[in-house]
Every structure is written in structure tokens, then in C-alpha cells.
Structure 1
Amino acid sequence: MTLHFSVLASGSTGNAIYVETEDQRFLVDAGLSGKQMDALFTQVGRDMKNLSGLLVTHEHSDHIKGIGIVARKYKLPIYANEKTWKAMDGLIGEVPLEQKFTFDMETVKSFGSLDIESFGVSHDAAEPMFYVFHHEGKKLALITDTGYVSDRMKGIISNADVYVFESNHDVQMLRMGRYPWNIKRRILGDYGHVSNEDAAIAMSEVVGDKTKQIYLAHLSADNNMKDLAKMSVSQTLEGRGIRTGEQFELFDTDPKKPTALTAV
């Protein structure tokens, strides 16, 4: 069995990504209620009781809302770095000590057939980090919630088979929209979220011969649209000599509906 994944939910209302191999099953973030998480798992034909563990990217509520609930209900280990653990204190309820594990930034942990690599991103959280999954030569890279994509990040995620890549906002929609200026400034800043165009520029510098699919993630409900994101990303990539649909496919993600469980 190969590496499989589903973007269960993606957006400012809640984020969760499921990754599995023949012997490991991990959930990255659980930013929805326990009930919603159960329903999403049912939709992809899986059961949370079979999870190997929970991986946390950072402490914002749209990523950890259900973490404590799920961990307690199914007696699952939670993995997060020390600063994130401290920042989550009081936000996820009591978690038994035997279920709390530290996953340092810029390290690789091996779980059976699956190697999970952590790397830091630029976001207004304690110590935000995302993950790359390696299994039998396949590589799945997750990167959202970052204000920009540094050369160091690009080196870690380069030439993945599949990307789940932030494409948060259209700059014009954000500038013209109803958000107060301090929120707009936060989103546009180095510790906010990447725009459609900036995401595409970063993609153009990391996609490789292996790359087959890119999932556009964490789209803003107020400052983006699925079709606009795909069009903007495609046009920017084309301007840099990369044609989507030929080298790789672009896919949507949704805040409420999971993507199909897909092989990497």
C-alpha cells in the first residue's frame, strides 16, 4: 500500500489533513469540533479510533479546536513542539501526560514505514511548523499558514509528488474588502498568509519532475474564490513557463467537504 491522504477540511473555519500508509495513520491538526471530525472521517471511509497519532502545526483555534477532544476520546498521542505545547495550555483541556509528545522543529521522526519531517514556517504563532511525509520514495508536502516561503522552506519541500499549498487570498479582494486595516496588514505581512500569486511564484521554484498534484489550501472565504485561486495560480505559473494540466494538476480544497482519499 502506498501513501494516501485526504484534505478533510481547509480554511479559516477549520483545518485537518489525514495521511496514511499500510501501518500508520496520522491526523495533522483538528480545527473542527469532535462531532465534525467524526463526520469527515466517515465521509472518507475511515475511523478516528484507528489513528496512530495527532500532529499539531500551531496553536490557532482553526487548527486545534478538536485536538484535545479527539485525543481524549480515542486515547491518542499528540505531537507538537515545546513552544506550541506551552501556547496550547488552557486551549485544549487536560491531556494525560502519557499522550503528550514533543516533536521538535527541523527534525525527522520515523513511525514504522513513514518518515515525518517537520519544518518552520513564518506565521504569528509561538513556533509554527508544517510537515513533509516520506514513504517508499514518495513525498507529500504540507505548507499553509505562512506569510512567505523562504529558500530554506523551498529546499525542504522541493520536488514533492504532491503539495497541499496555501493560496489564501487575492490581494485586490483583500485590499478592497471589509476587514479592518490592522487585519489586512497582518494577512499581507511576513507572518500572515501567502496570496495566490505569491503561492504560485513559490510553487514555480519547488515543483519538479516528480510533482503530479497541487492542492490549493486555506482559501479565505472573504478574500478569495476557488476559481479565482486556480486561475491566478495557473496564470502566474504559465508566465514562468509552467503549464498546469500538463506537468501537474491543480485541485481545490474545501472548508466543509473532504477531498477523496488519494494515493500520492
Structure 2
Amino acid sequence: MIFCPLFSGSSGNSTFIASNNTKILVDAGLAGKNIEKALSSINQNPKELDAIFVTHEHTDHIKGVGVLSRRYDIPIYTNELTWNAMSPNIGKIKDNNIKIISDKHVNIKDMDVISYKISHDAADPRGYEICAGNKIACIATDLGFFSDEVKKRLYRANVILLESNHDTEMLKFGPYPYVLKKRILSSIGHLSNDDCGKAIIDIINDKFKKIVLGHLSKINNYPELAYKTVINILNENGIKLNKDINISMANRNMPSNYTEF
């Protein structure tokens, strides 16, 4: 499999995942031309995409969905509540490219995509587990808290994009209005750096994992701070970097962490 976050941050999100015969995006939260350039930079052609899977309807996850679907005739997969919430904002989509997920499992060629519930302030937000053969990648961002369902999915995975959205102190004393701060810190908001580090402890097993920290706030976090906070928590709990696990940072502005596994 190939796994590559094209963009990951509060200003836009999209991840490219491929198996031997299938290529998908999970989310397309930037302008279509930006995603086209990002795909080209990793030698991928948007004409070859088999699907776009949408986690939820917020703009930083759907901005380019409609354009890409129309331009390249790409099916869009999501659940009914999310489709109803996002459809007024993405323009006209051909009927045969509207794929409402009624079951949590979707098969496309040699790839299985399993959606699972996450906690976020959206209509029916989902994470995705993507499987091909015995390889598993997971997308787990926009998490209000680290639920047992999320833990179960990530425990099985080889490669994970995991939210490390904010530093709690930066958020508390930063410029956001009180209502927004309260929302981010709630069970339908986002995982902090500390939450992320503690979550990783719960998914360590004998399977070596590559975890990419993503969806960082531009205002309430820094990549260096997120990385250091998570690593310190892992060290305190006896988890050995590059032996038990690999930790890296997703870039908000360009493709990063291109992984073949």
C-alpha cells in the first residue's frame, strides 16, 4: 500500500491511499487545483482516482470534493447524514457518483474501506480503516475523545494519521473566543497533544506502527511542540521510538510522509 497525507491541518485536509489496483482520497479540503498539484508532486494522476471518501462536512474536509468529482468523474462515498449536510456546498454531482454508505464496509477492487464512528460536532462524522491484503491504514482526526471504537481500529493498523490538534495552554490563553475554546476542548471537539500521546499508549502492540501526527491548529499549536509533547509521554511510559513505533509530523501545506508498506 501507499499512504501519503497531501495536506493536514486546520486549513485543509486530504490523504492519498493506494493498493495494487485501487487509488482513493480521504477528504479533499482544499481547492481542486491544489490537490491536483499535490498528487502530481507524488507522481499520481487524479484521473486514476477510484473514489473520494468524506469524513464529515466541514469545509476543511470538502472544499475540493465537488470540483474533483466533476472534473474526473470520481464517486464520492459518505453516509447519508453527512451527504445531506455537505451537498449544498459542493455543487451538482452526477447521480451515479453519489455513493451513500449504508453499511460500514465498502469494497473497491482490491481495497476494503471500513468507516467507524468518531466524536465531533458534525452530522455523522467517521474515521476510515483502509485494508488491502494484510496491510491496514487508518485516518483518525477530528476526535473529541479517543473512544473504544477508535482504539480498536487503530490497534490493528500499520500506518495511522492521528490528530494532535492543539496545546491546551496555548488554546486557553490564545485569541479564540470563549465559545470556540469550549467547543474545541469538549468531547465533540479535537484531541490535544497530551490526549494524542496518551491515546498512542493504548494502541501499542507487537505490530510496529508508523504514526503521523496531523490536523494541527495553526493558531494553538506548533509542529515541534506537538512532536515533543507526544514523545515525552511515550518516553515516560517506556515506549521506544523507532523500535516499538515511528512518530512523524504531517505538513499542512504539502505532501509529506510518503509511505510504502
**TM-score, normalization: structure 2?**
0.97
Matches within 5 A, 1:24-35: 24-35=22-33
Partners of 1:144 and 1:217 within 8 A in 2 = yes
Q: Which residue of 2 aligns with 1:154?
A: 151
Distance in 1, Cα, partners of 2:167 & 2:86:
30
Q: Which residue of 1 aligns with 2:47?
A: 49
Structure 1: which amino acid aligns with 2:52?
A: L
Q: Deviations over 1:76-126 (max 9, x none)?
A: 110010000100121000111111001246x22122211111101000000
Q: Which residue of 2 aligns with 1:20?
A: 18
Matches within 5 A, 1:82-97: 82-97=80-95
1:191 to 188, 204, 209: 188
Distance in 2, Cα, partners of 1:104 & 1:189:
28
Matches within 5 A, 1:100-249: 100-104=98-102, 107-249=104-246
Aligned residues: 261
Q: Please, which runs of 5 or more residues in structure 2 have no aligned partner?
A: none
Partners of 2:117 and 2:149 within 8 A in 1 = no
Cα shift at 1:228: 0.7
Q: Deviations over 1:14-54 (max 9, x none)?
A: 00000001100001110000111111111111110110011
Cα shift at 1:260: 4.4
Give the root-mean-square deviation of aligned CA atoms: 1.1
Distance in 2, Cα, partners of 1:63 & 1:108:
21
1:73 to 71, 74, 95: 71
Structure 1: which amino acid aligns with 2:151?
A: K
User: Structure 1 vs Structure 2: percent identity of aligned residues?
Assistant: 37
Q: Deviations over 1:122-176 (max 9, x none)?
A: 0000000010111111111110001101112211221311111000001011111
**TM-score, normalization: structure 1?**
0.96
Larger mean Cα displacement after TM superposition, 66-75 or 146-155: 146-155
Larger mean Cα displacement after TM superposition, 56-65 or 109-118: 109-118
Structure 2: which amino acid aligns with 1:52?
A: D
Distance in 2, Cα, partners of 1:181 & 1:55:
33
Partners of 2:197 and 2:230 within 8 A in 1 = yes
